[in-house]
Chain A
Amino acid sequence: MAKADEDKEERETPSRREVAKRYLDLWDRNMSLIARHGPPIPTDDRPER
């Protein structure tokens, strides 16, 4: 069971790291766009009453 967990962890780590990479790339592009065009208009996602 422990071995299976380890294997699962190994399989998942690169994918999580890949998500982190994509997120950080997006973060950088977001900073660049904000410097150019200004902060985004907030989107309110609260459910309607």
Chain B
Amino acid sequence: MARRSRPTTDQSADAAPHRIGKPTPLIQHLSTALAAVQHATLAAPLATERRFPWHSDLRAEAQALPEKPLPPEVAAEGVSRLSELMRGIEAWQRHPYRRPADTAAEIWSDGASRLLDFGSRDGAPVLIVPSLINRAYILDLLPGRSLVEDLSNAGYAPLLMDWGTPGAEERDFGLDDYLQQRLRPALAIARALARGPVPVIGYCMGGTLATALAARAAKDVSALVTIGTPWDFTHRVWASAALTQVWGQQQGMQARAVLAGLGHSFGAIPSDVFQTLFASLDPGLAFRKFRRFAKLEPADPDAILFTALEDWLNDGPPVPTQAATEILVDWHICNDTCAGRWEALGDTVDPSAITCPTLAFCAAQDRIAPPGSTTALPRSIAGAQIVRPDAGHVGMIVGRNRRAHVVDPLLAFLARVAND
């Protein structure tokens, strides 16, 4: 009997395995998009009325619509957009881009963490500290979109801390364990290579950890650079503030209990928890960006950048329960950093004790670490410079204007520090 090939209805048959079931949280992205279309359709007949809850920036534009949008037309256009969203997601899942293996030399490791050397032997070492909740390779995403490449091309030896995926050794780690057992040794190696104190660059919450180094290990740090580094967590976008109000009762007791439960079930806090929180900061973002992606040719440089970035966003490691609780509750809800209660490396972290030259990039469009949060840190450090790129949190690192808005001011600052 002839064997017949089985008909397949599996749309993801040729998808990259690491993209199946993603982008995370897929169900939230899809249900938010569907709900947006449903609600917009129902509300369409009221769109041009004064009582319609348009944000004040949009009211005039809405009232200037040439006629009332008709629900059948809105539904038809909405369905067409939902199809575009699905096409965009499937195009990303099938995109041929794969991140090549790291070629940087590993010069130290402990547990899951590694210190990667991206520079030439005679370059001046610079220690780079990424966030704990996303992978370090955002700082080396693609050729031409790589902060470590920029530093290396400028003659530095960028030493990138790669936290890796926490294993048995990091299972019970809090932030101070990461500082004492991972960053302190990495800084000592950088100092030994430099034969003196070194600049430390921190991205996102990596900058908050770098601030602890600059405050508590001052003799080893020649300069501090923070990029999108949150400090005063009372400055939040509304969606984040609303969540904090729900979870923040009694010093975040409920949030602590939920995180303890998740940690007990999964062994650590899954990246999905952080991705879900990030998705709430701009609920329509996935709908927008995957529809845009659906219109790009796979070989378009913008499509490759999108794919590489989306892969990174969906590749977050789990975070040890203790460290995640400190980030989400002690920092985000209780604002321990700005309130002077955050203890690390043996004492409270007081930015006013930092005496090294400091540069802070505080992006105007940053929703993850809004400008009010990021500028609070340099404002506490005497003589600190603030640069305000017109970009978002990730756009500062890989966006179109990264060179003018971030890389050039950073290199100029490092050169000044080296010459002082």
Contact = CB atoms under 8 A, between A and B. Distances in A.
Interface of A: 15-17, 19-24, 26-45
Interface string B269-303: 00000000000111111011000000000000000
Q: Is the interface of B mostly helix, strand, loop or mixed?
A: helix
A13 B48 CA distance: 19
Given A19-B67, A21-B77, A36-B239, 19 more contacts: A16-B69, A16-B73, A19-B65, A19-B68, A20-B73, A20-B77, A23-B47, A23-B62, A24-B77, A24-B78, A26-B54, A26-B58, A28-B36, A29-B58, A31-B36, A33-B58, A35-B281, A41-B56, A42-B53
B57 interface: yes
B51 interface: yes
B47 A37 contact: no
A31 B68 CA distance: 19
Contacts of B287: 28
A16 B69 CA distance: 7
A27 B40 CA distance: 7
A31 B283 contact: yes
B282 A32 contact: yes
B70 A30 contact: no
B388 interface: no
A15 B68 CA distance: 11
Nearest to A21: B77
B51 A45 contact: yes
Contacts of B237: 35-37
Contacts, number: 103
B120 to A, nearest CB: 43
Nearest to B288: A28
A39 B58 CA distance: 13
Contact of B66 (A19, A29, A36, A41): A19
B49 A35 contact: no
A33 B50 contact: no
A41 to B, nearest CB: 8
- Interface residue tally on B, bucketed by range: 35 or more
B367 interface: yes
A35 B278 CA distance: 11
A24 B62 contact: no
B69 A20 contact: yes
Nearest to B78: A24
B76 interface: yes
Nearest to A34: B55
A17 B345 CA distance: 61
Contact of A38 (B58, B238, B282, B285): B238
Contacts of A35: 237-239, 280-283
Contacts of A28: 36, 284, 287-288
B44 interface: yes
B62 A26 contact: yes
Contacts of A44: 51
Nearest to B281: A35
Contacts of B57: 29, 33
Nearest to B64: A22
Contacts of A24: 37, 40, 74, 77-78, 81
B359 to A, nearest CB: 27
Contacts of B68: 19
16 contacts: A16-B69, A23-B44, A23-B47, A26-B62, A27-B36, A27-B40, A28-B287, A29-B55, A35-B280, A35-B281, A37-B55, A38-B238, A40-B53, A40-B55, A43-B59, A44-B51
